[in-house]
Structure 1
Amino acid sequence: MSEALKALSDAGVSIWLDDLSRERLDSGNLEQLIKEQHVVGVTTNPTIFANALSKGEAYDQQVKGLAAAGKTTAEAIREITTTDVRNACDVFTDVYKATDGVDGRVSIEVEPGLAMDTDGTIDQAKELWATVDRPNVLIKIPATKPGLPAITAATAAGISVNVTLIFGLERYQGVMDAYFSGLEQAADAGIDLSTIRSVASFFVSRVDTEYDKRLDAIGSDEAKSLRSKAAIANARLAYAAYQEAFSSDRWKALEAKGAGVQRPLWASTGVKDPNLPDTLYVTELVVANTVNTMPEKTLNAVADHGEIAGDKVTGTADEAQQVMDRLTAVGISYDDVIDILEKEGVDKFDVSWGELEQTVTDALKAATSA
């Protein structure tokens, strides 16, 4: 076992893998990561499924069956992805039970095309929840404005939600409020709140990518000194907001009824800039009661040479705010950065979904003509 990953886990960070494939499931690789790399959960997205389906032959048998049954592309995607997620949930059953439902979680996302459709998101969240039919699945709902009431409605229905595509602090406040409202409605409906879990996926590396592009364009010494500081500062301020919300009287009333906290999840933790340490968004965001979901490349980097030096987040809010204030002072609008990142995030998943649809369409045609 990796000492660095053990130290990260011991520090209270749940290590989730940001990847899933039929090959990983069939080969036993996922079980190996659980046993040897402290992996206690998995996240997926359209990009991950598109990549998985485009490689190898692991899906061939299922695709042939779907083609023979006359399934549409949309139906085939649903069956293929929910099969992977259901099987992964089963692999994580022991982790789920050992952690009282906190970990052992596998996420599956509503279609990106529903990001601005509240009712469509609610309907698909309920459908995915029923189709996977495992208590340790998380349904990913984007933190767009139309996504917020969907988060509340899904939570109120007893569905465990992974809120994704969070970039900004104001929207994060809205996400936590949506979760609280959903729990309050669930309690009123007589649902056992201890059965509902949630994480809030706060994206990290993309924030630096957008800020650094703008800092490079400014080109001053002050701007250069601020490169690659925005993402970590933003995440640390998010953690401070989490601490405040989950120490409020409103939360304490829900906690007394058995509710579990909505943990911050650090997403997009693979480093985009090759000049940065490849473990940066892991080692600098160590703090208890959080999740860090990593692509395998980042997981391996942390295992190999990550230096875990304990809590790097608690008590850093003032320093983080100073960084964000300096970024504003050099002429970068925080709100503009966040708006662009959210739009790009939705667009990127839309593109990946289109690639997934094309891959499955081609596979169905090939299976039909074979």
Structure 2
Amino acid sequence: MNHVHELSAAGTSVWLDDLSRDRLTSGNLAELISGTGIVGVTTNPAIFAKAMSAGTAYDEQIGALKAAGAGASEAVFTMAVEDVRNACDAFAAVYEASGGVDGRVSIEVDPGLADDREGTVAQAKQLYADVARENVMIKIPATEACLPAITEVLAAGISVNVTLIFSVERYRQVVAAFIEGISQAQANGHDLSRIHSVASFFVSRVDTEVDRRLAEIGTAAALAVQGKAGLANARLAYEAFTVDLLQDSRWEQLQAAGAHAQRPLWASTGVKNPDYPDTLYVTGLVGPQTVNTMPEDTLDATIDHATVTGDTLTGTGDDAREVFAALEDLGVDLADVFRVLEHEGVEKFVSSWQELLDTIGERL
């Protein structure tokens, strides 16, 4: 029994935010599953850029892809799909034991498609077919253009990880897209019990941007609120989950037909400010029907010294609103914060993806 198991007992599934060929072939992922209790994996363009740009683990496959005349994009997706498929197999027992709730592995569509609904839908369906494992989740960004894509992919019976959510307002739109997608999946004759979804809410980046603005204000009152926005924002999202989704009459009908709730997933949970506790975004976001995906350093810190006190989400909405009210009184434009973060989030993933394509292109 470790702190990961304690989180699980309180309702929070722990997933690893990392994947690489080395982690798979060395047996490290299998050891983490059996030894620490992680029950899923998330990936993103930055993770694959780091994995594929270093070491020799992909050399043999790159050689075969070169001989076959593959371009950089085809090569990257081929290698990523193989890693995700093998990770899905590693989590097969967890997937079965949890009834499909956990044992999930996420792979993201090309971040350059963030403003392309049709391209996102087409690639999501292709990735699902290529991985060919039921426990895969296709990551789609929660940009305005991709909200309809989320609905359409869910309607096709494909499990979706909605990523790059920063504001509660956008999260509510994601919930609406999810409910509509599951409704259409039912109309299309899909078994709702086989479709799962998570809504990935980014946490630490909110504190980074808000803290920067508070530092510019520089008053004692401003500095006193630093490090509080990320948790407050996520807690308001959890409150919205319990109301906008769980208490929606349309959702109740879908749930009666076998549908599973779209769980909030806390992403970007590694602290960016070394002055903050390294498990800040773990122990402060514990509650029923949630997921926390952690980089390895945060996972190690959680196992080593996290203090898990049970549910730290339910009933925290009023305190979170007080934090937001204080920020607004200080002149922090939260709507602008979230616009900036979404734009930067997409741009960072596009940049990482392009760097990876350039690197693999050179190697080919």
TM-score, reference length from structure 1: 0.97
2:332 matches 1:332: yes
SS for the counterpart of 2:39 is strand
C-alpha deviation, 1:74, in angstroms: 1.2
What are the superposed Cα offsets for residues 241-296 of structure 1, whole Å, 9 maximum, x if unpaired?
A: 00002122111011011100000000000000010001100011011210000000
SS for the counterpart of 1:39 is coil
C-alpha deviation, 1:16, in angstroms: 0.3
**For 2:257 and 2:39, how far apart are their aligned partners in 1?**
26
Q: Which amino acid aligns with 2:14?
A: I
Q: How does 1:260-279 map to 2 (within 5 A)?
A: 260-279=260-279
**For 2:78 and 2:119, how far apart are their aligned partners in 1?**
19
Q: Which amino acid aligns with 1:47?
A: A
**For 2:160 and 2:296, how far apart are their aligned partners in 1?**
23
Residue in 2 that maps onto 1:35: 34
Residue in 2 that maps onto 1:146: 145
Residue in 1 that maps onto 2:157: 158
Residue in 2 that maps onto 1:285: 285
SS for the counterpart of 2:304 is helix
C-alpha deviation, 1:9, in angstroms: 1.7
2:37 matches 1:14: no
Q: Which amino acid aligns with 2:209?
A: E
C-alpha deviation, 1:82, in angstroms: 0.3
C-alpha deviation, 1:54, in angstroms: 1.6
Q: Which amino acid aligns with 1:291?
A: V
Residue in 1 that maps onto 2:122: 123
Residue in 2 that maps onto 1:258: 258
Q: How does 1:299-310 map to 2 (within 5 A)?
A: 299-310=299-310
Q: Which amino acid aligns with 1:247?
A: Q
SS for the counterpart of 1:119 is helix
SS for the counterpart of 1:199 is strand
Q: How does 1:1-370 map to 2 (within 5 A)?
A: 3-244=2-243, 245-364=245-364
Q: Which amino acid aligns with 1:299?
A: L
**For 2:311 and 2:196, how far apart are their aligned partners in 1?**
24
Deviation larger for 47-56 or 162-171 = 47-56
C-alpha deviation, 1:4, in angstroms: 1.6
C-alpha deviation, 1:355, in angstroms: 1.1
C-alpha deviation, 1:75, in angstroms: 1.0
C-alpha deviation, 1:146, in angstroms: 0.6
Deviation larger for 166-175 or 245-254 = 245-254
Tell me the number of residue pairs that the alignment of Structure 1 and Structure 2 aligns.
363
Q: Which amino acid aligns with 2:269?
A: T
C-alpha deviation, 1:96, in angstroms: 0.3
Q: Which amino acid aligns with 1:269?
A: T
What are the superposed Cα offsets for residues 157-183 of structure 1, whole Å, 9 maximum, x if unpaired?
A: 001000000000110000010010011
C-alpha deviation, 1:56, in angstroms: 1.4
5+ unaligned residues in a row in structure 2: which ranges? none
C-alpha deviation, 1:189, in angstroms: 1.1
Q: Which amino acid aligns with 1:272?
A: K
Q: Which amino acid aligns with 1:142?
A: P
Q: Which amino acid aligns with 1:147?
A: C
* Poorly superposed stretches of 4+, deviation over 2 Å: none
TM-score, reference length from structure 2: 0.99
Query: Identity of counterpart residues, as a percentage?
Result: 58
**For 1:293 and 1:188, how far apart are their aligned partners in 2?**
32
**For 2:241 and 2:5, how far apart are their aligned partners in 1?**
25
Q: Which amino acid aligns with 1:98?
A: A
C-alpha deviation, 1:12, in angstroms: 1.4
Deviation larger for 153-162 or 242-251 = 242-251
C-alpha deviation, 1:334, in angstroms: 1.0
Q: Which amino acid aligns with 1:197?
A: H
**For 2:177 and 2:249, how far apart are their aligned partners in 1?**
16
SS for the counterpart of 1:222 is helix
What are the superposed Cα offsets for residues 293-314 of structure 1, whole Å, 9 maximum, x if unpaired?
A: 0000000011111111111110
**For 1:251 and 1:107, how far apart are their aligned partners in 2?**
24
Residue in 2 that maps onto 1:368: none
Q: Which amino acid aligns with 1:308?
A: V
5+ unaligned residues in a row in structure 1: which ranges? 365-370
C-alpha deviation, 1:77, in angstroms: 0.9
Q: Please tell me the root mean square deviation across aligned C-alpha atoms, in Å.
A: 0.7
SS for the counterpart of 1:265 is strand
C-alpha deviation, 1:55, in angstroms: 1.7
**For 2:240 and 2:5, how far apart are their aligned partners in 1?**
27
**For 2:254 and 2:234, how far apart are their aligned partners in 1?**
25
Residue in 2 that maps onto 1:367: none
